[in-house]
């Protein structure tokens, strides 16, 4: 598939994932392990997408999207990170560099997405006011229009930002990445996110701490048996 076409498809996918994050459905297609894998499939690198997705899943497993709290746009970041990494692999970059670049791009996109979501939500105040005026004037369709517009804004902003992020990543990576490097996802790059995910679970209470240790023991036993 042409890279340009892939970027357009990834941008549309990022828009849909953004809508699933909070605006509609919330079926968790917006979780990075899902969105990253789907993005990887689009660019023909599903394992790369899964690896980026699962790393982001661990990094952001403790984020609570509660009330007015800002949160990283994890689902969109999954699409951008996994899509970028997959495209870099298909362009001949060593997998290790592609994955590390994809992960960093995703972390940056999560942060940009957080700002974008906060701004869109402020903009929603106007939409809500207009809807309220219309409804109180007897126009029931005012609420429906506000819902559709808010979803449309969320989709469009996420799509445009994602296309720009992937395009920029490919451009910079093509210029800067060395031609040789590891073909695997280097442990030192994903060790930190994995440990962060476990640390979040460890920091919550005794039940969680005991469960982490139990999981660790079962995992180690399973590995020893294999």
Partner 1 sequence: MERTLRAFGLKEEALVQDDANRARSSVRPGGWKWRLFVRSFLLQAVWNPRGMQDVGFFFAVAPLASTMDEEERRAFLKRHMSFFNTNPVLAPYVIGAVARAEMEGRGAEEAAEIKKALGGLLGMAGDALMWGGLRPAAGLIAAAVALYGLQTGAWGVWAAPIVMLVVYNVPHIFLKARGVVRGLDVGPEAASELLGKGFRRAVLATRWAGAFAAGFVLALAASGTERPGVPTAVVMGAFLVLGAVAARLRIPSTLVAAAGAIGGIILMVNGFYGG
Q: 28 by DSSP, 3-state: which?
A: coil
**174 lies in the binding site for partner 1 (CB under 8 A):** no
Residue with Cβ nearer partner 1 (7 or 19):
19
Give least dist CB 17 to partner 1, A.
12
Please identify which residue in 17, 33, 79, 173 interacts with partner 1, judged by CB under 8 A: 33
- Tokens 């941008």 belong to residue: 11
Q: Quick one: which of 169, 166, 159, 163 has its CA closest to 18? A: 159
104 in Cβ contact with 190 (< 8 Å): no
Residue with Cβ nearer partner 1 (2 or 136):
136
Mark the segment that binds partner 1 (CB under 8 A) among 7-15, 83-91, 159-167, 200-208: 200-208
Residue 52, token pair as written in the block? 């980026």
Please identify which residue in 6, 16, 59, 89 interacts with partner 1, judged by CB under 8 A: 59
56 in Cβ contact with 45 (< 8 Å): no
**40 lies in the binding site for partner 1 (CB under 8 A):** yes
**66 lies in the binding site for partner 1 (CB under 8 A):** yes
Cα 197 to Cα 10, 124, 202: the distances in Å are 27, 33, 9
Please identify which residue in 98, 150, 158, 173 interacts with partner 1, judged by CB under 8 A: 150
Non-local (6+) Cβ contacts of 214 within 8 A are: none
Size of the site for partner 1 (CB under 8 A): 103
Identify residues 67-106 at the interface with partner 1 (CB under 8 A): 67-68, 72, 96-97, 100, 103-104
Please identify which residue in 127, 160, 164, 167 interacts with partner 1, judged by CB under 8 A: 127
């Amino acid at each position: 598939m042409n890279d340009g076409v892939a970027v357009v498809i990834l941008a549309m996918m990022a828009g849909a994932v953004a809508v699933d994050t909070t605006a509609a459905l919330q079926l968790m297609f917006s979780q990075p392990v899902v969105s990253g894998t789907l993005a990887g499939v689009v660019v023909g690198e599903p394992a790369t997408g899964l690896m980026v997705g699962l790393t982001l899943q661990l990094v952001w497993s403790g984020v609570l999207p509660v009330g007015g709290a800002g949160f990283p746009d994890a689902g969109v970041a999954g699409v951008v990170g996994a899509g970028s990494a997959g495209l870099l692999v298909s362009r001949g970059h060593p997998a290790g560099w592609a994955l590390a670049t994809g992960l960093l791009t995703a972390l940056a996109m999560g942060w940009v997405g957080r700002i974008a979501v906060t701004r869109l939500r402020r903009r929603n105040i106007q939409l809500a006011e207009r809807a309220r005026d219309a409804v109180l004037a007897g126009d029931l369709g005012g609420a429906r229009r506000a819902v559709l517009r808010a979803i449309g804004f969320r989709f469009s902003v996420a799509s445009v930002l994602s296309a720009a992020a992937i395009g920029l990543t490919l451009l910079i990576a093509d210029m800067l990445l060395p031609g040789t490097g590891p073909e695997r996802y280097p442990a030192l790059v994903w060790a930190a996110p994995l440990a962060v995910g476990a640390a979040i679970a460890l920091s919550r209470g005794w039940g969680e701490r005991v469960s982490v240790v139990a999981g660790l023991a079962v995992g180690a036993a399973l590995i020893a048996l294999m």
